[in-house]
Amino acid sequence: MAADSERTCIVCRGRAAKGQLWRVVWEEGRLRLDESQRRPGRGAYLHPARQCWLKRQEAERWERALRRPKGSLRQEDVVALQQELSCLTGVAVGVELLSKTPRKLRL
C-alpha cells in the first residue's frame, strides 16, 4: 500500500504523514503520547495543532481508533491526555508545526 506512512487525524480526519502526527497509545490504563512512535499496540494519531488536540473528543472515538472495548475509556482519560499534550507543547513541541507546509520526512 503506497499510503502506508499516512495516517488520519482522529479529530479532524485530515491525513498526514505518520511522522507529522502525534501517536497515542493506551498503556498502563491511560492514554499516552508515544513520542517514539514505536510503542506496541494500536495507536491513534492526531495533529500536533491546537485546533485538533484541544477540541472536545468523544471517548468513544478513541475507543474505536484504539480498538478498545466499548465503555473502556472515560471522558476523563481523554481530558487527561489533552492536559498532558497541553503541558508538553508549552515546553517542547512546536504547536506551529502543522500550520506550515509539511516538509519531507527524514526517516
65 touches Zn ion (CB under 5 A): no
- What is the DSSP secondary structure assignment for residue 9, as one 8-state letter? B
Compute the least distance from the CB of residue 46 to Zn ion, in Å.
Answer: 6
- The Cα–Cα gap between 83 and 71 comes to 21
Question: Which residues neighbour 38 within 8 Å (Cβ) at sequence distance 6 or greater?
Answer: none
For Cα atoms 70, 75, 62, give the angle at the middle one, nearest 5 degrees: 50
Cβ proximity to Zn ion, 11 vs 72, nearer residue: 11
Q: Which stretch binds Zn ion (CB under 5 A): 26-34, 48-56, 68-76, 78-86?
A: 48-56
CA 80 → CA 35, 53, 85, 95, distances in Å? 17, 12, 9, 18
Q: Judged by CB, which is closer to Zn ion: 13, or 70?
A: 13
Q: Judged by CB, which is closer to Zn ion: 12, or 93?
A: 12
* By CB under 5 A, residue 7 contacts Zn ion: no
Site size toward Zn ion (CB under 5 A) is 6
The DSSP element (H or E) to which 32 belongs, if any, is strand 30-33
Is 54 among the residues that bind Zn ion (CB under 5 A)? no
By the criterion CB under 5 A, which residues form the site for Zn ion?
Answer: 9, 11-12, 14, 47, 52
